[in-house]
Amino acid sequence: MGRARKEYEIIADILAACKKPAKLIRILQSANINYQTFYKYRKRLLRTGLIEESIIKGVGPTGCNYIYRTTAKGLHTLELLRKKRIKWLEEQADEAVCGINASALGEKGVF
C-alpha cells in the first residue's frame, strides 16, 4: 500500500483536472479522489479563486450540471505546487541515497 497523498498534492491534482472545463465525474477520475474528498476542497478552492464553477442548464437528472475550471490564479498555484512536489521528491531521493534528511541539516549542512 502506498503512502497517503499530502493535502497540496490533492489540491494540485484537482487543479490539473480542471485545466480544461470539467464535470465532476471527470475531476474525480482524473484526480483519483472520491466525492467527499472533492467537496472537502471545493469550497476553499472556489473561495480563494483557484477554480470557477459554472452551471449548464438542461443537463443531468436535476436539470442542471456544474462545470469546474481552473482560473489563472489556480494555474499559477498549480505551477508552484508542482515545484514544491519536485523539491520534496528530490529531498526524498537525497535522503534515500545519503541516509539523511536534507531538511534536518539546517542552513549549515554537513560539508
Average pLDDT, consecutive stretches of 10 residues, N- to C-terminus, the chain (111 residues) = 81 96 94 95 95 81 80 94 80 65 45 27
CA distance 22 to 42: 13
End-to-end CA distance of the chain: 36
pTM score, two decimals? 0.74
Give pLDDT tens digits for 33-54: 999 999 999 999 999 999 999 9
Length of the chain: 111
∠ CA 57-26-88, nearest 5°, is 135
Q: What's residue 96's pLDDT?
A: 64
